[in-house]
């Protein structure tokens, strides 16, 4: 087990380093922060002083070497906009994204497992056909389009829900519902396919022959053995939520790490951009590691 964890950690470290290199140099292509943060009438001397103050007057390779050295010591730099440690700014926003992802994926997982399992139990029936149509539509609808439609219908025309913010429970409804649709549609299809295979296995037929009721057959005997591919997809969708909430957070004005990243890119706050990417990538690594370790709990035949 420890050997497996070390191997995964080493592979993730290589990915983080590659990501850091790519984002560091690409972010510098967005322009000079001095032109954005200083007044239009700022002199060349003022701009040069600003660059020297923030270490932007050095060659890119020197800047990168200094940044890597600081990252190793836990220093991710300071936000140019807020004059605070970039890591603190990112963690404050990341908490909002994390809560949004946890709530959404909890609702998605429970609903998709129930719907997919019931659809597989009566293959070809009305519920199976209906849930398949709904899930396929959900998996195909673009998030940004659905978010805009939701705002137009429920916030503007009906005035039921607010369009942005996090002040009350009603502020969370639209972002959660929009983020719910796509992973729900995908996971339902995976649960259905995996459960159809599990329900046709010999041990399920034996349980039915012994008179076991439908509920225990679906959610005890078959579901556990059908969960391995489902957990993989749940992990992928959870990672997609952490990565893909950028557009939804921006549309709904949700103060998460996705919106922070977009704002920081536009305002050339390089340290915040890099810190946001590193924190998100590290969270995804931990989540994937937990999912891999969960395989052994679900299937004792798996050993790392």
Closest CA to 247 of 97, 79, 47, 114: 97
The overall average pLDDT reported for the chain is: 79
What's the pLDDT score for residue 298? 65
Q: What is the model's pLDDT at position 1?
A: 63
Alpha-carbon span 109 to 106, nearest angstrom = 5
The residue among 188 and 286 whose pLDDT is bigger is: 188
Q: How many CB atoms lie within 10 A of CB 119?
A: 24
Q: What is the mean pLDDT of residues 137-145?
A: 86
Tell me the mean pLDDT in the region 287-297: 74
Instruction: Render 36-47 in DSSP notation, one character per residue.
Output: HHS-TT--HHHH
The pLDDT, as a whole number, for residue 111 is 92
Residue 299 has a pLDDT of 63
Domains, the chain, with CATH or none: 86-298 (1.10.3720.10)
State residue 42's pLDDT score. 67
Long-range contact set of residues 36-43: C-beta below 8 Å, sequence gap at least 24:
36/267, 36/268, 37/80, 37/268
Question: Please, which pLDDT band fits residue 221 given cuts at 50, 70 and 90?
Answer: low
- Position 270 confidence tier, pLDDT thresholds 50, 70, 90: confident
Three-class SS state of 296: helix
27 vs 99: which has the higher pLDDT: 99
- Predicted pLDDT at 108: 92
State residue 4's pLDDT score: 66
Contacts 24+ apart (CB under 8 A), 282-290: 282/16, 283/94, 283/98, 283/242, 284/239, 284/242, 284/243, 285/8, 285/9, 285/12, 285/15, 285/16, 287/235, 287/238, 287/239, 287/242, 288/8, 288/235, 288/239, 289/5, 289/8, 289/9
User: Which pLDDT value is given to residue 214?
Assistant: 67
Determine whether 232 is exposed, middle or buried from the number of CB atoms within 10 Å of its CB (0-12, 13-18, 19+). Answer: middle
41 pLDDT band (50/70/90 cuts)?
Answer: low
Query: What confidence tier does 15 reach under pLDDT thresholds 50, 70, 90?
Result: confident
By the 8 A CB rule, do 192 and 120 touch?
Answer: yes
Q: Confirm if 247 and 97 have CB atoms less than 8 A apart.
A: no
Structure confidence at residue 75 as a pLDDT band (50, 70, 90): confident
pTM of the predicted model as reported, rounded to 2 decimal places:
0.77
> pLDDT higher for 181 or 269?
181
Joined together, the tokens standing for residue 242 give 């952490």
Q: Which region among 39-43, 92-96, 185-189, 233-237 has the lowest average model confidence (pLDDT)?
A: 39-43
- Evaluate if residue 13 carries a pLDDT over 80: no
Q: How confident is the model at residue 296 (pLDDT cuts 50, 70, 90)?
A: low
Q: In this structure, what DSSP letter does residue 245 have? A: H
Least confident of 66-70, 111-115, 157-161: 66-70
């Amino acid at each position: 087990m420890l050997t497996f964890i070390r191997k995964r950690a080493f592979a993730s470290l290589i990915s983080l380093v590659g990501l850091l290199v790519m984002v560091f140099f690409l972010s510098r292509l967005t322009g000079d922060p001095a032109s954005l943060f200083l007044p239009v009438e700022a002199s060349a001397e003022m701009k040069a002083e600003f660059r020297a103050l923030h270490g932007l007057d050095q060659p890119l390779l020197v800047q990168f070497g200094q940044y890597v050295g600081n990252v190793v010591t836990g220093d991710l730099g300071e936000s140019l906009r807020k004059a605070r440690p970039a890591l603190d700014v990112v963690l404050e926003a990341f908490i909002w994204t994390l809560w949004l992802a946890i709530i959404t994926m909890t609702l998605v997982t429970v609903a998709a497992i129930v719907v997919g399992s019931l659809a597989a139990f009566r293959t070809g029936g009305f519920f199976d056909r209906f849930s398949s149509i709904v899930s396929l539509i959900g998996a195909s609808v673009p998030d940004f389009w659905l978010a805009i439609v939701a705002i137009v219908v429920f916030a503007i025309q009906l005035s039921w829900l607010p369009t942005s913010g996090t002040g009350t429970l009603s502020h969370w409804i639209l972002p959660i519902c929009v983020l719910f649709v796509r992973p729900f549609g995908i996971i339902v299809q995976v649960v259905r396919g995996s459960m159809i295979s599990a329900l046709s296995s010999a041990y399920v037929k034996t349980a039915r022959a012994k008179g076991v009721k439908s509920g225990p057959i679906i959610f005890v005997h078959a579901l556990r053995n059908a969960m391995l591919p489902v957990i993989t997809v749940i992990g992928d969708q959870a990672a997609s939520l952490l990565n893909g909430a950028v557009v939804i957070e921006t549309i709904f004005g949700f103060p998460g790490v996705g919106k922070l990243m977009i704002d920081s890119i536009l305002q050339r706050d390089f340290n915040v951009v890099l810190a946001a990417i590193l924190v998100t990538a590290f969270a995804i690594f931990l989540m994937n590691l937990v999912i891999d370790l969960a395989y052994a709990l679900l299937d004792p035949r798996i050993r790392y």
